[in-house]
Amino acid sequence: MEHIHQDQNFDRTAHNRGRTYIILGWVLAVASIFFYPFILGTLGVLMGVIAKRKGAKGNAVIIANILFALIGLMISALILTLFRTYLSVMTIIY
């Protein structure tokens, strides 16, 4: 009985280690929408892969980081386009 109990604790410890990487991956996913989408998205995917190797389920984190990084890149492109359009209009007026 003791042997089974120790195995369950070992699995729980491995799961907790993977959980830390999953939480960090989600934080990076949200941050990648606003700041450095390519870099933070890549780091988030890496956290998902590490979590999977530790025994946790990291597929959702990997997919979310890819999607959020793409959304962040699109938002950045939109903002840059709007600023360029606005600045070129301001240059013509003045």
Whole-number Å distance between alpha carbons of 94 and 92: 6
Mean pLDDT of 13-19: 70
Mean of the pLDDT values across residues 42-49? 94
What percent helix, strand, coil does the chain show, rounded to 5?
90, 0, 10
Number of H helices and number of E strands within the chain?
A: 3, 0
Look at residue 90 in the predicted model and tell me its pLDDT.
Answer: 58
pTM comes to: 0.72
Query: Over pLDDT 90: what percentage of the chain?
Result: 54
Dist. CA 38–CA 70, nearest whole Å: 8
Please indicate whether residue 3 or residue 31 has the higher confidence score (pLDDT): 31
Nearest to 25 by CA among 1, 53, 50: 50
Return the pLDDT at 13.
65
Domain ranges of the chain: 2-93
